[in-house]
Chains A and B, each alone.
Chain A
């Protein structure tokens, strides 16, 4: 597990959202440690909390997979490669940053990272958008962020306050109508 997160931390550029599709590939597609639904839930929580999305995601994945030790392993695996390379660069390689070849490579990579982020959002949206309601709720929040520059915290709070009662009632209804068996499996998730 440490190796998986270490590799992801070492090989992902651009940070934050660009790490999501890579972890999706490693944990859901390639190793099947997590289900699509598991992963979507984790990403929702990791993004709704302040801090580095990638580290939050790693923390929650580790937690789901192996409890407290798992989350520590995942966070360290994710952070160690970037901390080490950053210290090495700050100490020895800062001069090379503006080398034209390095610059060209980075610009091309950045364009691909933009695609990677878009792909990650697509993966999330495909699994998270289960009903028209999600789209209808996203539209005003996005408009608020884009046109009015609303603070992200405000978006999350609005979603919790407005959406919370609906989700709550739905979950309650589901628990009341579902058979004991499915209730049990839901708890076991």
Chain B
């Protein structure tokens, strides 16, 4: 009875520790874990799960973990998978914050890890635009929606809630696509 939970936990812990750069990057890792190693889902099922995770609110990685956990072991399974996929990063962040505080209190200077990693973060973000954009912007209509949405976000000078723009994009999709 315990074994499926344990396997779920181990799989998603592994995903969490190597998942980088947000949901899209994590997807290939989860596929490797769930389809190739464990054989819990077929490739087609997995693609359906990812589509679903993309269209439901919230972080992609949380959605995928919840769904797969639920499919395999019900509500407890979904909680196990989600906790496993989230906790390592949060523990790591806590540890880093404590370490930074310790170093700071010792010297007069501030340890600014966040400044050193900026270029890598920017590179990761640009990669995310490319990989997400390539899947989402596939023809003239989607390009039009994306361009309009970006224009609204940039011109509105932070007065329009970004979520409204996405909903508007969806409604435009109903009529255009």
Chain A residues close to B by CB (< 8 Å):
9-19, 21-22, 25, 29, 40-41, 43-56, 59-60, 63, 71, 75, 78-79, 81-83, 85-87, 89-91, 94, 97-98, 101-102, 104-122, 124-125, 128-129, 134, 137-138, 141-142, 144-146, 151-153, 155-156, 158-160, 163-164, 166-168, 171-172, 174-176, 183, 186-187
Contact = CB atoms under 8 A, between A and B. Distances in A.
A101 B111 CA distance: 51
B61 A152 contact: no
B125 interface: yes
Nearest to B29: A50
Name the residue in A75, A102, A105 with the highest tally of chain B Cβ atoms < 10 Å from its Cβ: A105
Given A90-B71, A142-B126, A101 B174 contact: yes
Given A116-B166, A172-B109, 7 more contacts: A14-B54, A49-B93, A75-B90, A86-B56, A109-B170, A110-B142, A138-B126
Contact of A50 (B20, B56, B60, B111): B20
B161 A108 contact: no
B63 interface: yes
Contacts of B58: 9-10, 12, 15, 54, 78-79, 81-83, 85-86
Contacts of B114: 40-41, 44-45, 48
Interface residues of B, number: 97
Contacts of A91: 70
Interface of B: 16-26, 48, 51-63, 66-67, 70-71, 75, 78-79, 82, 85-86, 88-90, 92-93, 96-97, 104, 108-130, 132-133, 135-137, 142-143, 145-150, 153-154, 158, 161-163, 165-174, 176-177
B61 to A, nearest CB: 4
Nearest to B58: A82
B59 A112 contact: no
Nearest to B78: A87
B90 A163 contact: no
Contacts of A102: 55
B67 A90 contact: yes
B61 A86 contact: no
A11 B123 CA distance: 27
B13 to A, nearest CB: 11
A59 to B, nearest CB: 5
A176 B83 CA distance: 44
A144 B23 CA distance: 21
A152 B60 contact: no
A102 B67 CA distance: 19
B168 to A, nearest CB: 7
Contact of A111 (B70, B113, B143): B143
B98 to A, nearest CB: 11
A128 B121 contact: yes
A6 to B, nearest CB: 10
Given A47-B21, A55-B90, A102-B55, A110 B135 contact: yes
